[in-house]
Amino acid sequence: MSRRRWIADEIHGNMAALVGEHAAHLARVLRARIGQEFDIAAGEIVRRGTITAISAERVEFALGEVEVVRPAPKVTLVLAIFKFDRMEWAIEKCTELGVTRIIPLIARRTDAHLASAAAKRVERWRKIARQASEQSRRVAPPEIGGPMKLKELGVTVTGESTRIVLAENERETSLRAALAAGPDDAVLAIGPEGGWTDEELGWLREAGWKSATLGDSILRAETAAIVATAFTMDALR
């Protein structure tokens, strides 16, 4: 049976610790015991951790052998901001699937109230992603930055990644085809409720993004994010 994995808050040589609410969940809710073993994600590696000390807001581990972790594809998800409850669900599930980075985007059709409130939600999104990462036995949670506008992507998304925008008006190029000719990492852009504007799609294409379709059905934003992420992670493995 697989051991539960925790992402360390502190790492000092062969010692690691969980602190605050993170530790309280393990100590109080799961009733951790000294000597109990877990997998501890410590930076870029995972090591077997044995609990050496427990308090209300701190659990300490002695770190032992390194566990083998299979490298995962690098997939960045550009997620246009939509209703927060559904967006949080998408963040949780795409984290479980393995996305490396999530960029919240203020698109032209993003609701103005959601756009103005989004910056205050980032810490909550990061907490959701961390919990989902531990549940799904990831080494680290995805990076989640503050909300940005479309034209800031040119600075934020760099390198040789395959950049794909999922567009309702694309009829010819499937996501499979768009991924086929590119490198082993990808950036996926999912539009808001109501979709991308023609101006936004034009800017993305001029910036080197490929358009792709997920099929004939019109999917909700959270559904499109999960489907596209799952397909891409599988295609790049």
- The DSSP-derived string for 55-121 is ETTEEEEEEEEEEP-----EEEEEEE---HHHHHHHHHHHHHHT-SEEEEEE-TTS-HHHHHHGGGG
- Cα(98)–Cα(11) distance, rounded to whole angstroms? 23
Domains of the chain by residue range: 5-67, 74-236
Q: What is the pLDDT of residue 155?
A: 74
Q: What is the pLDDT of residue 170?
A: 92
Q: What is the pLDDT of residue 91?
A: 98
Q: What is the sign, positive or negative, of the torsion defined by CA atoms of 136, 139, 142, 145?
A: positive
DSSP character at residue 192: -
Q: What is the pLDDT of residue 29?
A: 87
Q: What is the pLDDT of residue 154?
A: 78
Residue ranges for the chain with pLDDT beneath 70:
1
Q: Does domain 5-67 have CATH number 2.30.30.60?
A: no
Q: How far is CA 69 from the centre of its chain?
A: 18
Q: Does domain 74-236 have CATH number 3.40.1280.10?
A: yes
Token pair 């581990």 in the structure block, residue: 61
